[in-house]
Amino acid sequence: MNENRGGRIILHVDMNSFYASVEMAYDPKLRGKPLAIAGNVEERKGIIVTCSYEARAMGVKTTMPLWQARKLCPQLIVMRPTFDRYRKASMAMFDILREYTPLVEPVSIDEGYMDLTEYKYSQPLEISKSIQTRLLEELTLPCSIGVAPNKFLAKMASNMKKPLGITVLRLRELSTTLWPLPVGEMHGVGEKTAEKLNTINIHTIQDLAQGNHVQLKKLLGINGERLKKRANGLDDRPVNPDSIYDFKSIGNSSTLPKDTTDEKQLNDVLNKLAHSVSTRLKRKDVVATKLFVTIRYADLRTITRSKKLANPVGEKEDIYEYAKQLFYSHWNEEPIRLLGITGQDLVEKEEAVKQLDLFSFETEAKHEPILKLIDKLNEKYGSKVIKRGMKGGSKDDNTAGTSFNKDFLQE
């Protein structure tokens, strides 16, 4: 793989059916059986989060409604997620990866990149086999590994053989291995983007690689240029161990037990979501400068509406009030199936500059004596001896809702 400029050797380690595999490792009686993890085990609202390969063989798929999965596989075992268990397994998995190199970049709870360039004169394939064997023997967790000269190709390679696959993808193999694939199977191309590309006769990854630069930029903006480079196997992003701390949004959503138009029930859901988002913002010591509300109707139509905030928010009450304003401004009064709140464009709390206006000045002024006292104490004993809104060492928030953000990886 030394044909790549710089001669990098990048691995993408992707755990196979991670949640289901963790449950099987925890309870060996589940091994070899069709198992699904669902956000809620009630047939009405359950969605498959992940499932074992035995379940997949019966036609069960991720994001499939639970009722449909049970129809395809009557013997399906359904479990709720146990997030603490998954977090511990994830940390153990990444600990093993870091024994080979400090250049490990987690990208989600169950996948990450490794830079093995320092081993270029040894055998990266043998190292990949060692990693895969250790994860299976020590944690009872299967994985697939992609080996390539950059992150994009490594990611594509890890998807090519599951479960327990190791795939090497070289630049010289693009025309035979990567290009024939439908463009919708390319990492970074979602369903809607694929549909847009189809309108300009781009149906395969090769079509994208050879696509018209101007046409792609007009259709997809700067992302069109980026995707064309990826399709040609070009990706110079480094493996960055610190990228796990780079996050832009924190959000939660909740599916209602029944479709409803009851305002009290909807307000209760928004209030719980605001509490959950606020708790997670505080855990990160950040505030949000933009707020999104997601509304999904009974017929699964989904809209997302946002508001740029004059003052950053982190408190539950503020998030709740802004979310309510957004929701009632855009709700068409049809029955609601799901609600979500997301704080975006996050900034460190200490760096947030609050814009005082006629409405907030009086409130802030009331806190001025306390703030002066805090400043004096900090000046005398250190800048962080005392803070307004002290961040406690609380456990993870258990408010109902779903979140798959990167901060799920961190304690």
Segment (H or E) for 260: strand 249-260
Q: How far is it, in rounded angstroms, from Cα 67 to Cα 47?
A: 9
Phi, psi of 191, deg, nearest 5 = -60, -45
Instruction: Report whether pLDDT(372) > 60.
Output: no
Instruction: Report pLDDT for 302.
Output: 87
Instruction: Report pLDDT for 397.
Output: 44
Instruction: Report whether pLDDT(358) > 50.
Output: no
User: Among residues 23, 54, 105, 111, which one is catalytic?
Assistant: 111
Look at the alpha carbons of 29, 32, 34, 35 in this order and tell me if their dihedral is positive or negative.
positive
Q: How far is it, in rounded angstroms, from Cα 278 to Cα 294?
A: 17
Q: How far is it, in rounded angstroms, from Cα 113 to Cα 187?
A: 14
| Placement of tokens 């802030």 in the chain | 364
Instruction: Report whether pLDDT(7) > 60.
Output: yes
User: pTM for the whole thing?
Assistant: 0.66
Q: What domains are there in the chain, each with its CATH number? A: 18-82 (3.40.1170.60), 182-239 (1.10.150.20), 247-405 (3.30.1490.100)
pLDDT over 90 for what percent of the chain?
64
235 labeled part of a ligand binding site: no
369 or 218: which carries more pLDDT confidence?
A: 218
242 or 287: which carries more pLDDT confidence?
A: 287
Q: Buried b vs exposed e over 297-319: b needs ≥16 C-beta within 10 Å?
A: beeeeeeeeeeebebbbbebebb
Instruction: Report whether pLDDT(388) > 50.
Output: no
Tokens of 381: 């004993």
Q: How far is it, in rounded angstroms, from Cα 403 to Cα 166?
A: 30
Instruction: Report whether pLDDT(365) > 70.
Output: no
Over range 83-108, report the average pLDDT.
93
3 state DSSP class of 261? coil
110 labeled part of a ligand binding site: yes
Q: How far is it, in rounded angstroms, from Cα 402 to Cα 286?
A: 20
Q: How far is it, in rounded angstroms, from Cα 298 to Cα 281?
A: 30
Q: Mean pLDDT in the chain?
A: 85
Contacts of 132 (CB under 8 A, 6+ apart): 142, 143, 145, 164, 166
pLDDT in tens, 18-40: 999 999 999 999 999 999 998 76
pLDDT in tens, 151-172: 999 999 999 999 999 999 999 9
Tokens of 276: 């959950």
Q: How far is it, in rounded angstroms, from Cα 39 to Cα 79?
A: 9
3 state DSSP class of 43? coil
Instruction: Report pLDDT for 370.
Output: 55
Instruction: Report whether pLDDT(119) > 80.
Output: no
Kindly write down the DSSP assignment for every residue of 92-124, as one continuous string.
HHHHHHHTT-S-EEEEETTEEEEE-GGGTTS-H
Order the strands of the 249-260 sheet from edge to edge: 249-260, 336-348, 286-297, 302-313
Active site residue 111: yes
Instruction: Report pLDDT for 249.
Output: 83
CA angle (82, 65, 73) in 5-degree steps: 85
Q: How far is it, in rounded angstroms, from Cα 144 to Cα 165?
A: 5
